[in-house]
Amino acid sequence: MDKNKVLEIVKKMCDTIMAEHTPVISKKWAYEAGLTLKGFEAVYKLTGEKKYFDYIKASMDYFVTDDGEIQFYDMQKYNIDFINNGKCLLYLYAETGEEKYRKAIETLETQLKGQPRTESGAYFHKKIYPNQIWLDGLFMAEPFCAQYARDFNHTENFDDIANQFKIAAASTYDERTGLYVHACDESRQAFWADKVTGKSKNIWGRACGWMAMALGDVLDFMPKDHPRRDELIGLLKGLLERVVEYQDPEAGVWYQVLDSRRRGNYLEASCSCMFTCALAKAIRNGYISEDYKPALEKAIDGVFKEFVTYDDTRADLNKICYVAGLGPEDNPKRDGTFEYYMSEPVVSNDNKGNGAFILMCAQYLQ
């Protein structure tokens, strides 16, 4: 894929988002907004166009008061998703030095200190999901934790960060595929969980995508001489090697349920962008062999062919799974079956896809 064309389209997508979501990306403290704003950060660093930085700042300033309080955020829910926007706060604090961002960062760190944990030591995904470990949570919390540890000199935290990955990987590993199921309930009580292993039933593409991106992002901040760095590199390498085996040989992208070719399964944009982003970063940083460059190029071409539409005025990302989860008890539809993952809406321009696409383009352009 021509890199000038990639840059043109990713800028057009950022401009489309700003035009349609103004003056801020979201009026909810939503993790997908933070994901997309991290993409804006990457595009700003590539282009130097200040409008992208200004949009990040305006979108976070909607929530963060001059006193450093976070409006429309409820710590007592102990929702790990709420941590993701903290990555934007860390960036803004580093860029501006404004004290309000530091105070807001410490609020999120306080949540993590109180976040309930499973018996093995993993964070609950949410307070309403007791004893449950979701792969999504690795992306929501651990890169924030790693950057906080580096920026605020709490390097002792890196052992716990490594443990979060170790526990999640061990709890969700699927021996048949070498991949990871969406989640695990350590108590084996959730209606969707296997009564022996506690695992959910399927390999959801975006869950593995969150895990792959989280590993690459944490390694950006982990000291090069940390004794557990190689452990995380090995986990990322193994995951990506297996992911590439499930890349569609013709389309170059990946399916909603990663390992299945059952009727009704579909090529899905967000996980495809996440895997492509993680591959690009892993190859560039030497975590995985350059032998995987053909898979990366095939994936880039596939994402643009399968999912992206654009014209002179805008760019759009299509075929995004709108949402997928497991439970809670009063939502039995979300049972982790193949049929459930096929039942959720497929949409265009959702930030879970757009954010991954923008980050993917930025990694590829580097």
Q: What pLDDT, in 10s, does the model give residues 133-164?
A: 999 999 999 999 999 999 999 999 999 999 99
Across the chain, which has 366 residues, the per-10-residue mean pLDDT values are 96 98 98 98 98 98 98 98 98 98 98 98 98 98 98 98 98 98 98 98 98 98 98 98 98 98 98 98 98 98 98 96 97 98 98 98 97
Q: Where are the domains of the chain?
A: 3-365
**Long-range contacts formed by 128-132: CB under 8 A, 24+ apart:** 128/77, 128/328, 129/190, 129/326, 129/327, 129/328, 130/187, 131/185, 131/186, 131/187, 131/189, 132/183, 132/184, 132/185, 132/186, 132/190, 132/326
- Tell me how far apart the 2 most distant CA atoms of the chain are, in Å: 55
Q: Minimal CA–CA distance to 44: which of 112, 115, 95, 80?
A: 95
pLDDT computed for residue 350 by the predictor: 98
Active site residues: 136
| Cβ atoms 199, 181 nearer than 8 A | yes
The Cβ of residue 291 has, within 10 Å, a number of other Cβ atoms equal to: 8
pLDDT computed for residue 119 by the predictor: 98
pLDDT computed for residue 124 by the predictor: 98
Pick the CATH number of 3-365 from 3.30.930.10, 3.40.718.10, 3.20.20.70, 1.50.10.10: 1.50.10.10
Q: How far is CA 265 from CA 282, 286, 318, 329, in A?
A: 28, 33, 16, 26
* DSSP output for 16-85: HHHHHS-S-S-SS--HHHHHHHHHHHHHHHHH--HHHHHHHHHHHHTTB-TTS-BTT--GGG--GGGGTT
Q: What pLDDT, in 10s, does the model give residues 85-95?
A: 999 999 999 99
| Cβ atoms 348, 318 nearer than 8 A | yes
What CA–CA distance (Å, rounded) separates 61 from 348?
A: 27
Q: How far is CA 155 from CA 3, 80, 102, 160, 217, in A?
A: 37, 21, 18, 10, 16
pLDDT computed for residue 221 by the predictor: 98
pLDDT computed for residue 336 by the predictor: 98
pLDDT computed for residue 90 by the predictor: 98
Local structure of 310: helix, strand or coil: strand
* DSSP output for 109-171: HHHHHH--B-TTSPBPS-TTSTTEEEHHHHHHHHHHHHHHHHHTT-GGGHHHHHHHHHHHHHH
pLDDT computed for residue 79 by the predictor: 98
Q: Minimal CA–CA distance to 209: which of 278, 257, 163?
A: 278
Type of residue found at 311: D
Burial of 339 (0-12, 13-18, 19+ CB in 10 A): exposed
Burial of 318 (0-12, 13-18, 19+ CB in 10 A): middle
What CA–CA distance (Å, rounded) separates 352 from 317?
A: 10
pLDDT computed for residue 60 by the predictor: 98
pLDDT computed for residue 250 by the predictor: 97
Report CA torsion sign: 170, 175, 178, 182: negative
What CA–CA distance (Å, rounded) separates 272 from 299?
A: 8
Q: Minimal CA–CA distance to 83: which of 133, 21, 23, 146?
A: 146
pLDDT computed for residue 317 by the predictor: 98
pLDDT computed for residue 59 by the predictor: 98
Beta carbons within 8 Å of 137's beta carbon, 6+ residues apart: 80, 81, 123, 125, 168
